[in-house]
Chain A
Amino acid sequence: MRNLGPQGADGSGDTPPVLTLDNITKVFPGVKALDGVRLDLYAGQVTALIGENGAGKSTVVKTLTGIYQPDGGQILLGGTPVPFATPQDAAKAGVTAIHQETVLFDELSVAENVFIGHAPKGRFGLIDTAAMYKKTGEILSSIGAKISPAVKLKDLSIASRHLVAIARALSVEAQVVIMDEPTAALSQTEIEELYELVDTLKAQGKAILFISHKFDEIFRIADRFTVFRDGQLVGAGIMNDVTEADLVKMMVGRSVDQLFPKREAEIGEDVLVVAGYSHPTEFEDINFTLRRGEILGFYGLVGAGRSEFMQSLIGITKPSKGAVRVGGDIRVIRSPAEAIKAGIVYVPEDRGKQGAILDMPIFQNVTLPSLHKTSNNGFVRMAEEFALAREYTERLDLRAASLDTNVGALSGGNQQKVVIAKWLATKPRVIILDEPTKGIDIGSKAAVHDFMSELAAQGLSVIMVSSEIPEIMGMSDRVIVMRDGRMVAELEGDALTPETLVRQAVGIRETGGDT
């Protein structure tokens, strides 16, 4: 395998890159999102940016478009350093991004969407509507799109909206076009049209950064690749020199070491049986059995339907088909209250938004889902409530001046503990942890893992949704892989390897001689 190292100089004697991220570092509290990475983009070429979830791809996009300021390193445009202090600076320098979910305005016309923020001005500084429509028409026909500049955006298909987004990118005379998972919402024919468009842009000499999880796509249109792992550059080069297997190895290539304090818990009887669980639009035919003391991992790419399935399991959305058996009884779970009663609790991924209530004191947050246990006819028995809150915050070693403190005044790690204490206080049988360690520092991660093992050892069944391969490998007794809303594999023992996980999640078939 050709690993060209962090300098990315592939010695092919090409023209110098249009845009270079040189030794860029970006630190968030507790997490190093980018650690001295380099990325080169060349005129008339497509560079694919590849990496697992959380490898730092979106941070790169945000740095390139001026949304984030790097903490170290520089951005070179045609060899000279440029500070992208604001998104406007990046746009002026000719860097433009077409986002995963295109951020456009439904109620405005196509032309207004294309030129919003830089509309051509006529007399008295008013918008020159005629010129705007004319230019929009020119740009749209240059990319072969048959869309009238006058229609409202809300009347267009998703594919056409993408074309509008691309037209917008071209209207600022972009040199660098960033496409972040552009095919995620497109049908096969629309994808073909997008490929043709990418070829048109290449022919016009634009440098293109293409972010995708789909290997067939990358091999179809990319000229070069750059692979990130955990915020670091692990490889870059020319597509013709690599195989799918090489790229997978670069993406996951690390040893799963003894970081994970997985204790062997005694696995007992079936606790939760899910059969034929389906949803009209989000997932289909999910079947599994969860046993006492087991940690079951759910792996997949972002958008594979894992969180959607979990939310349905706890009654936030309703399944179209399927049944659940909890501890021997067949249950219909129609609301989170019923899920809590059945002993299934869900610790959501976005704890800021879905977890704690920041304006409420700690003890009230902890007891919120178990209030029926510490109240009579709607009146709360405060002493019991306080005792319950104290018991579980102490178990989690929560540090706060008093349980009367508002959760908003706590650090992120302690807020997390409040959320977990809240769920444990309901004495659940099954606890679902969605991305339990996302965005927290290494030390806290180990504590969460330790705690998860302890829960399993005490006889709780744990479902862990995670996009981090080491975590999945280190913590799970068994792993279910989801792709496009379906279960595609159930792995345990020797079958559970990082390569298999990635292959199943991105949808590469096993190739001969590679296994």
Chain B
Amino acid sequence: MQSLQTQETERLVSDPVPGITAEPHDDNLRYFQVTIEGPQQSPYENGIFQLELFLPDDYPMEAPKVRFLTKIYHPNIDRLGRICLDVLKNNWSPALQIRTVLLSVQALLASPNPNDPLANDVAEEWIKHEDTAIAEAKQWTELYAKPTQSEPQPE
């Protein structure tokens, strides 16, 4: 009997999602190193963002824990890289998978939601001066999410 986790890991490798990679850690198969490409036409375009994903013991009854390691200027992602996303919290379902969760995170980059903020200062800026906020997000992408940068830069 193949565990759900092995099944998923194999599929992530054999049938990867465009713009997303997820590799299990050698010492801990529940811990994944993830990269997400910034969506086109978003302030995060051309950036490669490093994340970590951890499957709790109760997975899939409990959502995976996902956190940004690369610094990012986004109203729903805080300084520590924590993400405010419904499917990671109250709207988790065991029918969701690592790949669908990561797709949701990528979608969050494409459509920031300052009305349900996690990083309050960013959200405020986003609502009051959207142009400035977007410029700031672009600048952070340029600074911290350069594709050539091999090491993640956690805060």
Query: Are A and B part of the same complex?
Result: no
- Interface residues of chain A, those whose CB is within 8 Å of chain B, are none
- Interface residues of chain B, those whose CB is within 8 Å of chain A, are none
